[in-house]
Amino acid sequence: MTDLTPLVRLVDDDEIFLMSQKLLLQTCGFETVSYASAEAFLEHDLMTRPGCLIADVRMPGLTGLDLQKVLQTRRFSLPMIFLTGHGDVSMAVHTMRNGASDFLEKPVKPEVLIAAVKKAVAASCEAQRARDELNKRRAVYDELTPREREVIELAAFDTANKAIAQALGISEPTVKMHRANAFAKLGVKSPLEAYRLLTALGIIREKDDLPGGLR
């Protein structure tokens, strides 16, 4: 299970600003770690814990925008709060469209920064809990018998038990048994719930049609 204790990461080349913001966040109860560059962050932070990343837009070497692109390429979903000493509407729009949590102009008021951090951390923790739950469901799915998988993958499309029985060459009572077992193990109560779960797990795609043209 992932450690859900949030960690706030600060990335800024301004040492004085970095220290003051770290002190502010720690005073407000946030576990905080600071880095003097985006490169240092990428080298040392494992990004295994939820939380958020506060980064200056303009830094020597990799900028905050560069860092956002790197994290997207590596498929890390840590919420980012951008700070800038130069207000730029187009830049703000760009970062937000690329998934930034907030874009704040320096000097930022303490209460504004704390509010932004609370929002980002809450979203990150919720996303991590959802990922952990999905991983648990994946482990359960992997433990299903081959027949249970066949049945639930058809049942997810709301296929009638009779049609599933005919497609798999087994009796309808056997289909009902495997369906009930698979639903119970995965914690789903309806074909729609099964469909959503299997789609989230990547077992079926949203545009998949029924195998063999079943209806």
Q: What is the pLDDT of residues 119-163, one digit of tens each?
A: 999 999 999 999 999 999 999 999 999 999 999 999 999 999 999
- For residue 88 the two structure tokens come to 């730029």
pLDDT band at 214 (very low <50, low <70, confident <90, very high): low
Superfamily of domain 7-130: Response regulator (3.40.50.2300)
In this predicted structure, the answer to whether residue 6 has a pLDDT above a threshold of 60 is yes
pLDDT digits (tens, 9 = 90+) for 155-168: 999 999 999 999 99
Fold of domain 144-213: Arc Repressor Mutant, subunit A (1.10.10)
Dihedral, CA of residue 9, residue 11, residue 14 and residue 17, to nearest 10: -30
The total of other beta-carbon atoms located within 10 Å of residue 52's CB is 26
User: For the chain, what are the domain ranges?
Assistant: 7-130, 144-213
DSSP state of 167: H
Identical topology for domains 7-130 and 144-213: no
Q: Does the reported pTM lie above 0.95? A: no
Is the distance from CB of 122 to CB of 101 less than 8 angstroms? no
pLDDT band at 85 (very low <50, low <70, confident <90, very high): confident
